[in-house]
Every structure is written in structure tokens, then in C-alpha cells.
Amino acid sequence: MTLIHNYLYREIILFTAAIIGVLTFLLVAVSMFKVLQTLMYTDLPMWLAAKLMFLGIPLTLTLTIPAGLLAAVMIVFGRMSSDRELLALKASGIGLAPIVTPVIFLAIGLSVLDYWLVAYVVPECQKEFNGMKHEIVTNNPMALLNAEEVVDKIPGWRIYFTKKEGPQLDNVYLWRLEDVTNRLTSQIHADHAIIDLDLEHQQLVMKLLNEHEENYPGNGDASKLSPGGEGEQVAKAVSLNSFYEKIQKRLAWMTLPDIWDIIYAMQSGPTGEQASPYLTELQARISFSLTAITFVIVGLPLAIQTQRRETSFGVVITFLIVLLYYVLGAVGKGLKGHAGLYPELIIWAPNVLFETVGFYLFYRANRM
């Protein structure tokens, strides 16, 4: 058994590491494409792009680690089953449970790593990732603005323009939104706008040339616009305070201890805030950290019973399992605002379903 276990450890670890590396590289490259595209047209240093890329790696790893282990299990055990190696081991009196022990240990170890990532590392990285918007704006406010796109990165405003040359925007449209309801309150058009950043007051100053403003009524009826102010040169200051403050308030940027503290505070004294989103987020992180174990439980019997040695077959089965698992998980997280449906329990449905099927298939495979 020592020889068999060493073989399995070596094969599973090598395949898992290779697949995780490839998947992580591809997913990070795709996610960073838009960031790099933005940086190409600004004067921002490239080290910002590198930092953004590294901050996205922990979140990607939480997806690629379980998928890499599942793919490795499908490939290795599919080949062993196809070559009748597992049949020979069973004929010599060795059951499936001792054979798959190394894989279970690896799955437990990777689940612990996943838990550390989702509980502590990923929230801090996401918070830092979004906090770097502050740094990008400080270095070059024009990085927020892309021509011929409706810019919605600044809370309370929507901006559209057709051309950008240095700090100047041409044919500019600005829509001002109400803070609470996001109701459209006014529309501004200017031939040109000169952009400047007031760091002291954390605001974006737009000097509008040949500006014309129209106001929307309280019901938002665009057909009943009323004329507003106009002038050859008007300055508009766009506050960025809320843009920076939102970095501290996102649930996804809280570590598990932070979420625990909020839930405990809600239980100690009513705050009027729903606990369901926090409970669902807490349960989702714990549930998804066990994904590696769940994938191994369902993947092992599938690999053994399909008896296919083709790598492509293992990859296809892996993709289907991963897709179904995360779709079910996304449904559970999407219900976090509906406390009556108990989303904090529904979030466990993928694990329960997959592990039930896996144990049943493993029982059947062990009796064959």
C-alpha cells in the first residue's frame, strides 16, 4: 500500500498543480484584460497593473484549486480503472477505501487552504483591489473616463463624451442622479470639458464650455424637461467622497471574524438591519471552502466507473460538475435578501446533493 499511496500522491499532486497553474493563468489573464486595456491609454505606471493582477490571484485560486483536484482525480483514476489496475488491487483483497485515502487527505488539506483564502485573504485582497481605484484616480483621474462609453464609476453621475485629448473631453453629456433613489434629476450638455482633480477636497472639477442644463421633474418624465442654467464657462465639482467611503462597506470585503462580530451584535441588540445577507455570506464561505472534498467524493466513483483513460473525457466531466456546482451555489447566494427562504441553508444544497450522489456511487463501485 505504501507503494500505491506514493504513486497516487505523486500523480495527483503533479496533475493538480499543473491544472491549477494553467487555469489560474487563463482566468487571471482574462480578468486583467480590461485593466491593461485601460492602462495602455493612460500615464499610469505598469506596477499598478502587476499589483492588480496579484490581488486577483487568491480569488481565482478558490475556484481553480477544487477544479484542479477534480480534474486530476478524473484523469488518474480513470486511467487506473481503464487499465484494470483497480480491478487487480480489488482481486488481491484491497478495497477502494484504502486506495483513495491519499486523495481524501489531499482534499482535506486543500479545503483548509481554501478556507484560509475565503475567510481572510480574498476579502483583504478585494478590499485592496477596490481601494486602488483611489490610487488610480489620484495618479490620473482621466483613467476613469473612456470615450463613447457611459461612465458610471462616479456615484451620483453618469458621463458620456465622444473624444478625449489630454484633460479635455469633447461633446460632453452629464446626467445627475439623486443619491438615495438614483432618480435622474438633470442633464447637462457642453461642447467641451476640462477635467482637474482637487485632491484637498477629494472632488473632480469639470470646467464646462458652452454648457446647457435641463432639469427633470420629480416623476422622472423625460418629456417634461424644464430649462436650467447655461453659460460659456461653468465649473462643476463632482464629489468623490462616497466613491472612497464605499470601499469600507462591502460585505464581500469583510473577513469571517468581521461577519461573525456583526451577526453577534445583531443578536445582542436589534439594529433594524437584516441578518440574512450576513448569515448567507458566512455559510457560503464555509460551504465553498469544502468544495475540494465534495468534488473528490463525487469525482472518484465517476472516474472509476466510467473507465476512460482519455484526458479530454476527464476534463469534460470536470467542467460539467464544476459548472453545475457553482450554478447551484449562485442560486443560493442570489436569495440572500429573502430571509423567509432560509438562503443560509439553501447555500449548502450543492454540497449535500453532490456528496449524497458521490457516496451512493462509491458504494456501488465498491461492490462491483
- pLDDT by 10s per residue, the chain, length 368: 677 778 888 888 999 999 999 999 888 887 777 666 655 555 556 677 677 778 888 989 999 999 999 888 888 888 877 777 777 777 777 777 778 888 899 999 999 999 999 999 999 888 887 777 666 665 566 666 777 778 776 767 788 888 888 778 888 888 888 765 667 778 888 888 888 777 667 677 888 888 888 877 765 555 566 666 666 777 777 766 655 544 445 777 888 888 888 888 877 766 666 777 888 888 888 988 999 999 998 888 888 777 555 556 666 777 788 888 888 877 777 776 666 677 778 888 888 888 888 888 877 776 66
The set of residues, in sequence order, having a beta carbon less than 8 Å from that of 67 and lying 6+ positions away, is: 19, 20, 23, 295, 318, 322
Does the pTM of the predicted model rise above 0.85? no
| Alpha carbons 62 and 182: distance in angstroms, whole number | 34
